[in-house]
Structures are given as C-alpha cells and as structure tokens.
Homo-oligomer: A and B are copies of this chain.
Amino acid sequence: MQLIEAVPNFSEGRNEDIVEEILDVFRGTDGCHLLDAHRDADHNRLVVTVVGEPDPVVKACFSAGRRAAELIDMDEHSGSHPRIGATDVVPLIPVRDVTMKECVQMAEELAERFAEELGIPVYLYEEAARRPGRRRLESIRRGEYETLKEEINRPEREPDYGPTELPRAGATVIGARQPLVAYNIYLRTEDADIAKDIARAVRGSSGGFTNVKAIGLEVDGDRVQVSMNLTNFRSTPIHRAFEFVRREAEQRGVLVESSEIVGLLPQEALISTARYYLRLDDFDPSDQILEYRLADKE
C-alpha cells in the first residue's frame, strides 16, 4: 500500500472558526487521516499533519487550499512566522512504497491545480524545485507576502505556475521532501560549549553530514543537548548521527545519557537502526515483518 504524508501550513492560528473549517476539509476526506494539527496564535499559523494513500491526501490538500483562499485575506494577516500565502507551504513526503520522483510529480499536479483552478501563483521547492535558488523555502519566502506583492513580476521571482500578480490569498510553495526526523541527544555534562562544538562537527553547514542541521544548547539547567534535524534519514540515518555524536562526546570525556525523537517518524527509520546494530545483512522487511505482510494482504 502506498503511503504519503503531507504537512500543509496555513496562515491562520487565531480565529478558531477558520481553523476548524480548514481542518474539517481533512476530516471529511475519506482515506486522508488527520494525525496532528498545531495552531499557534503568536505565529498566527496552523500546521497540519495528514497521512494516507496519495490520491486522498493530495485531494484534501487542494480542497483545504481552496477553503483557505476563501477564508484568509493576506492583506489583513500578521504573525511572527514568515509567510507568503493563505496556504503557505505544502510539502509531500514519501512514507511507504512511494518514490521521491512520484512525490515530485504529485507536487507538480497539485501546483497546476492551485494555479489554474484557484488563480494562485505557486513556487516549487525542495526536491520539486525547478530553479537552483528555489530549493530552500527561506529564499522563496524572502521579504514575505508584502515584498513578494511588489516583486512578483520581476523575472527572478516569477512563479513556476500561475499568474505574476499576487491575489489576496498570496502565493503557495509546494514541493516534495524526505520525512524530517527531529532528534536530540543528551550529554552528561553541564558544559553547553561541548554540545555546541559537537553540533558544529555533526551538521552539514560546517563540514559534518549533508542531511543534518544541529545546534548545541543547555536544557533544564543541568544538562546539555545536541538538537538535530535529520532531513533525509534514508541517506543519513539516525544511528549514524548517534554514533558520531557519541564518539565526539567521548573524545571530550563526556558520555551520552539518552536520546529522544521529537514528534513522529516512519517506522522504517527504527527498523534500519535495528538492522545496523544487529548486522542483519539479509533482512527483507516486507517479507519478514509480520505487520508488513499483513498490510500487504489487506
């Protein structure tokens, strides 16, 4: 069974009626399972997590995008989180039996519908990006809604789909990316500098692993943490980040106390960790894990 996740972000975190109307679209779509909804009044933003087979998930994202365009006026919107549209960003994420290429194609089809049926300019990002400068969300969102309104007709800001004029629903960023695993490792020390040093060593931006973002910080007053985002656990798995941080800590005379996953992750991430440590060279999850076999029967 094919499974994808989508994490659409909407620019409304204060008006509960609007939030509920958007969530109702997801709740009302058969086969699209609403796993989480996080509303933040300060950000004035709603972050939705849905999972299911590709068709119902993409369909629900489109319908929610239409509803958001009807309900949210970006000229009236303010909040502390960067944004350019009512439906601000829609990442599609392969979970099971779906390739990244297929997710990119779904993103393109969704982008086309946003543009043609809703008249919303769309930028493709991450794995779906068509211009090198558009892989990263930050660069697409530069200056936010207010600046984009002025600049959208400049060649460098021309959307990948839709009009070169910004409607009151703003623009939407759509794309495909790997699941993000938020992963923290606690160290047995009170010296936050050690965590900061290790964060620099492990993260891609300063010479570490390509798919790791990291900071070091003190938590709870008496221990420190290397806090990471693993942006592609298939290429840079959790166990590799863990073993690397452990070795770096030991070089500094510090032991790893424990680690934690923040939020959700696909089970594949933990299965591959078990395979690594047990050296299970010839293991076929779809054939040997009871629940996988069952899922394929259903």
Q: A residues within 8 Å of B by Cβ?
A: 3, 5, 33, 35, 51-52, 95-96, 179, 238-239, 242, 256-261, 263-267, 270-271, 273-275, 277-283, 288-294, 297-298
Where chain A touches its partner, the secondary structure class is mixed
When the two chains form their complex, are residues B239 and A258 in contact, meaning their CB atoms are under 8 A apart? no
Contact A289 B277 (CB under 8 A): no
Copies of the protein in its oligomer: 2
Judging by beta carbons under 8 Å apart, are B288 and A259 in contact?
A: no
A-B contact pairs, 9 of them (CB 8 A): A52-B294, A179-B290, A239-B277, A256-B279, A257-B279, A258-B279, A258-B282, A261-B280, A274-B274
Cα–Cα, bound, A283→B292 (Å): 21
Taking the nearest CB of chain B, how far is it from the CB of A266, in angstroms? Answer: 5
Q: Determine whether the beta carbon of A282 is less than 8 Å from that of B265.
A: no
- Chain B residues with CB under 8 A of A273: 273-274, 277-278
Q: Distance in Å from the Cβ of A100 to the closest Cβ of chain B?
A: 17
CA distance A229 to B218 in the complex (A): 45
Report whether A3 and B294 are in contact in the complex, using a CB–CB cutoff of 8 Å: yes
| Set of chain B residues within 8 Å of A281, measured between Cβ atoms | 258, 260
Instruction: Say how far A285's CB is from chain B's closest CB, in angstroms.
Output: 8
Looking at A96, A280, A282, which has the most chain B CB atoms within 10 Å of its CB?
A: A280
Taking a contact as CB atoms under 8 Å apart, the answer to whether A242 and B278 are in contact is yes
Cβ A33 vs Cβ B297 within 8 A: yes
Measured in the bound complex, the distance between the Cα atoms of B18 and A277 in whole Å is 44
Q: Give A275's nearest chain B residue, CB to CB.
A: B270
| Minimum C-beta distance from A247 to chain B (A) | 14
From the candidates B52, B271, B280, name the one contacting A258 in the complex (CB within 8 A). B280
Q: Is the CB of A288 within 8 A of B274?
A: no
Provide the bound-state CA to CA distance between A153 and B261, in Å. 59
Distance (whole angstroms) from the CB of A287 to the closest CB of chain B:
8
- Bound complex: CA A245 to CA B297 (Å): 36
- Min CB distance, A13 to chain B, in Å? 23
